[in-house]
Structure 1
Amino acid sequence: MRIVGGSLRGAALANLGAGDDAAHLRPTTDRVREAVFNLIAHGGYATPAPPVGARVLDLFAGSGALGFEALSRGAVHLTSVENGKTGARLIQQNMRALNVADRVTLLRQDATALGPCTAEPASLVFLDPPYGKGLGARALAAARQGGWLTDSALVVWEDSVESPPPPGFMLEDVRRYGSTIIQLLTASAP
């Protein structure tokens, strides 16, 4: 895997291979990441177009590839939430390899139990929960309740099935890339 666009384009990410099913790690392919960033940059969902200037929250971050891609494309800060040992190790390796540790916060905790936010809220959220476990809506509810999201945050939700938007979120778009479904949601003011 590599960074596919922006200032870090071409930089290699820590190798996970085909994934780690035991750790629920499925790396988002380069092709899907490129499609997602084209969609959010040109979809007219926010001004300026994300990720430029965004504070990013990456829930169930895994290797952190989506968040690091956002930093490469102009995000100002990344908070990666990953409670698995393998994922946290990969994120730390990627932080060092990309020389972005000063712009990344790694939280080793459950994304469905975030608690209160102690930093600026995120305007761009990546949500890639383990497939088939119903954790996505719970994580968004925890992020919203804890003050982790701006009022109009854009959420990129990756899953194997389409899920109804949880209360407080509006569905903007749905795209299918093979067996991966990407839903774009916006948070509405509480």
Structure 2
Amino acid sequence: MNHFVPGATCGDFFCGSGALGLEALSRGAKHLTFVDNSRVVSQQMTANLATLSATNAEVIAQNAAAFLETATPRPLDIIFLDPPFRKGWLAQIIPLLEKGWLAERALVYIEMEKEVALPPLPNNWTLQKEKTAGQLVYRLFEVSNPLCETH
């Protein structure tokens, strides 16, 4: 995925520590939107970005689903999803991403518990990589969205 990051516009939803998004920024992402429902997490992310002098990122203290429903959609090249386990978030988030949040050839990285099945995915989502580590499964999907306007 490293060769996709430079110049990419990214979203890290359920960002937690922000490790995925911060790594993308360090590898040349153009802009990153961090979203997390926790005010403590959001404040820490804001402080971390200030420490790093990262001016190409924003932190949104909001539920990821509410953000995707209410914010003006902008196509993202890479989306990181690492929702809290056993809460059914992916079934709610994936359809929202299809409403203008996916760039023409977006990548969606999903980290989830391995014993839970993925919710139904749109036909334009293609699994590129999958890895299991302990109780986690990591999946990388490419989403073909030919009707998307490039940015």
Question: What is the count of residue pairs matched by the alignment?
Answer: 142
Alignment of 1:87-166 (within 5 A): 87-100=41-54, 102-113=55-66, 114-115=68-69, 118=72, 120-145=74-99, 147-161=100-114, 162-164=117-119, 166=121
Partners of 1:90 and 1:137 in 2: CA distance: 28
TM-score for both structures, normalised by structure 2:
0.84
Matching residue's letter, 1:186: E
Partners of 2:111 and 2:22 in 1: CA distance: 16
Percent identity of equivalent pairs: 37
TM-score for both structures, normalised by structure 1:
0.68
Higher relative contact order (CA 8 A, sep 6+): 2
Query: Is the Cα contact below 8 Å between 2:83 and 2:112 reproduced in 1?
Result: yes
Q: Where does the alignment leave 5 or more consecutive residues of structure 1 unmatched?
A: 1-39, 42-48
Give 1 or 2: higher strand fraction. Answer: 2
Deviation at 1:142, TM superposition (A): 1.2
Q: Where does the alignment leave 5 or more consecutive residues of structure 2 unmatched?
A: none
RMSD: 1.9
Query: Is the Cα contact below 8 Å between 1:59 and 1:139 reproduced in 2?
Result: no
Distance 1:93 1:51, change over 3 A: same
Deviation at 1:83, TM superposition (A): 1.4
